[in-house]
Amino acid sequence: MLSVLHKLKELRILSQGDYYFAKLIADKQCHTDYAEPIKNLAILLAALCSWRYTQGNTCSQ
């Protein structure tokens, strides 16, 4: 998932902040026993929530 998000960062679709927030979430869960799809979903949601927040929205709903 991080490789996909990194590519989006290179294409300037995601900001560096969005990417690094997702990377932080990935780093925090690297020692957990969650299934890989769950980890990827958390990483993707972190990037999307960060992106939406920078657009002036929140992910509260």
The reply to whether 49 falls in a domain is: yes
Q: Are 23 and 2 in contact (CB under 8 A)?
A: yes
Domain contains 36: yes
Helix (H, G, I), strand (E, B) or coil at 28: helix
Could you read off the pLDDT of 13-54 as tens digits, one per residue?
999 999 999 999 999 998 999 999 999 999 999 999 888 887
Residues 33, 16: Cα–Cα separation, whole Å? 28
Domain membership of residue 47 as a residue range: 2-54
d(CA 44, CA 51): 11
Instruction: Please indicate, yes or no, if residue 61 is contained in any of the structural domains.
Output: no
* 60 within domain boundaries: no
Query: Residue 59 domain-assigned?
Result: no
What's this model's pTM, rounded to 2 decimal places? 0.81
58 pLDDT exceeds 70? Answer: no
Task: Assess whether pLDDT exceeds 80 at residue 60.
Answer: no
